[in-house]
């Protein structure tokens, strides 16, 4: 399952779903939380269930993106009803918002176990991602995702709800950089993902009209170790996919490194074109090929 580009889709907008399904995003996050007004929650559940049915494994011309659903937080009392409506063949994953730690993953997973069995699905087939930094408590529990729950595939972070939780008046400097609390949240999410061995996904870039700024920010995120990014508009998907995909040069170099170590398996350090490469470089090359869809 690729988690390179993940596009939010309001759960009550058929028009936006149709456009999103043509965007090329790896994942469509069908949103039952913040994008849906309280008065529309019940209707949105039915609409999202219909989209999942249309994308199910037995449908012709099914949506090529994996379908995740962002449910409402456990604290609202709405999450179980959300899950009851959307757990059906065609659903690939659940995004948990405002999670306080791994205990929320365990709680959602227990509900999924029961609902998958009732729907005739393989138990464990629906995966879980977490927005891991939206509460103050969550910041102290990022280490709880290690060891990872078998359903957990990725962690992402968010700034807006965290701002509200801590009473901040802004989360960015005048030049657009994150202020210190949010730089910390971003870094800890990245470390928590690496520790758990799941995919780190960077948060959204708010100005969907600023393609140049998005590209610069995506390249920084990829440099730092993130492997994917949330999108809030279909126009952002192409840039995200390009920035988080290895270039032809990256893939070629990764193949050379892997081949060199394979040819001399007793060596821990190998020279290629006057540069020394060791085991961390080999592991990085293997990840590059995996990101390109090749078996290392």
Number of neighbours of residue 257 by Cβ within 10 angstroms: 20
What confidence tens digit (pLDDT) does each residue in 25-42 have? 999 999 999 999 999 999
Q: Nearest 5 degrees, angle CA 67-CA 46-CA 74?
A: 70
Residue 270 exposed, middle or buried by CB count within 10 Å (0-12, 13-18, 19+) = middle
Return the closest-CA partner of residue 253 out of 225, 220, 287: 287
At residue 296, the pLDDT reads 59
pLDDT of residue 266: 82
Binning pLDDT at 50, 70 and 90, where does residue 209 land? very high
Whether this model's pTM surpasses 0.85: yes
Of the options 3.20.20.60, 1.10.3190.10, 3.20.20.70, 3.40.50.300, the CATH number for the domain spanning 5-243: 3.20.20.60
The reported pLDDT for the residue numbered 221 is: 97
- Spatial distance between the Cα atoms of 268 and 284, rounded to a whole number of angstroms: 14
Give Cβ neighbours of residue 134 (< 8 Å, ≥ 6 apart): 97, 98, 99, 157, 158, 161, 162, 165
Residue ranges per domain, the chain?
5-243, 248-291
pLDDT at 252 over 80: yes
Q: Chain-wide mean pLDDT for the chain?
A: 93
Q: At 283, is the pLDDT very low, low, confident or very high (cuts 50, 70, 90)?
A: confident
Q: State pLDDT tens for residues 89-141.
A: 999 999 999 999 999 999 999 999 999 999 999 999 999 999 999 999 999 99
Instruction: Quickly state the pLDDT bin for 60 (edges 50, 70, 90).
Output: very low
Once rounded to an integer, what is the mean pLDDT over residues 56-67? Answer: 68
3-state secondary structure of 119: coil
């Amino acid at each position: 399952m690729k988690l390179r580009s993940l596009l939010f889709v309001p759960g009550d907008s058929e028009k936006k779903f149709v456009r999103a399904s043509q965007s090329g995003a790896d994942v469509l996050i069908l949103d039952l939380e913040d994008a849906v007004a309280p008065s529309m929650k019940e209707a949105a559940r039915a609409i999202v269930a219909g989209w999942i049915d249309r994308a199910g494994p037995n449908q012709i011309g099914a949506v090529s993106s994996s379908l995740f659903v962002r449910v409402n937080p456990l604290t609202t009392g709405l999450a179980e009803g959300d899950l009851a409506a959307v757990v059906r063949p065609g659903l690939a994953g659940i995004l948990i918002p405002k999670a306080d730690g791994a205990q929320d993953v365990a709680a959602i997973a227990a509900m999924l176990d029961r609902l998958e069995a009732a729907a005739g699905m393989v138990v464990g087939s629906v995966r879980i991602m977490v927005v891991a930094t939206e509460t103050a408590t969550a910041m102290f529990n990022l280490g709880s995702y290690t060891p990872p729950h078998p359903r957990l595939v990725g962690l992402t972070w968010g700034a807006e709800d965290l701002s509200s939780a801590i009473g901040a008046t802004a989360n960015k400097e005048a030049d657009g950089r994150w202020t210190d609390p949010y730089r910390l949240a971003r870094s800890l999410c990245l470390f928590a993902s690496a520790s758990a061995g799941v995919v780190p996904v960077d948060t959204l870039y708010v100005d969907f009209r600023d393609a140049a700024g998005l590209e610069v920010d995506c390249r920084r995120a990829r440099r730092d170790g993130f492997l994917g990014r949330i999108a809030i508009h279909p126009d952002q998907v192409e840039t995200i996919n390009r920035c988080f995909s290895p270039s032809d040069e990256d893939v070629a170099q990764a193949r050379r490194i892997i081949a060199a170590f394979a040819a001399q398996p007793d060596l821990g350090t190998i020279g290629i074109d006057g540069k020394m490469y060791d085991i961390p470089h080999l592991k990085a090359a293997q990840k590059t090929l995996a990101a390109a869809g090749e078996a290392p």
